[in-house]
C-alpha cells in the first residue's frame, strides 16, 4: 500500500492510500493520456479502490500525481 496525492487542474487535491499496482496503472494511463495527441476530445475516466472507498477520475483533469516510495 502506498500513499498518493493527485493534483487536479482546478487546484483541488485527492489523497489516500491504495495498492501499488493500482497506482502504477493510474500513472501509466495518466502519462498516456497526457502525451497522446487528442484527436478526439473524449473524457478518459479511470477508477480504482483505495482505503476509503472508490475514486473516479477524468484523466484529462489531472495536473500531477505523487506516489510515495
Question: Looking at the 3D structure of the chain, how many domains does it have?
Answer: 1
Domain CATH code at residue 30: 2.30.30
Put simply, whether the predicted model's pTM sits higher than 0.85 gets the answer: no
Q: Percent of the chain at pLDDT above 70?
A: 90
3-state secondary structure (DSSP) of residue 7: strand
CA-nearest of 53, 59, 69, 68 to 4 is 68
**Domain limits for position 30:** 2-67
- pLDDT band of residue 45 (cuts 50, 70, 90) is confident
Q: Does residue 34 surpass a pLDDT of 80?
A: no
Amino acid at each position: 500500500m502506498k500513499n498518493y496525492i493527485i493534483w487536479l487542474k482546478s487546484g483541488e487535491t485527492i489523497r489516500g492510500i491504495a495498492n501499488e499496482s493500482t497506482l502504477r496503472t493510474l500513472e501509466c494511463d495518466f502519462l498516456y493520456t497526457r502525451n497522446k495527441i487528442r484527436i478526439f476530445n473524449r473524457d478518459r475516466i479511470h477508477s480504482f479502490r483505495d482505503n476509503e472507498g472508490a475514486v473516479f477520475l477524468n484523466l484529462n483533469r489531472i495536473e500531477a500525481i505523487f506516489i510515495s516510495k
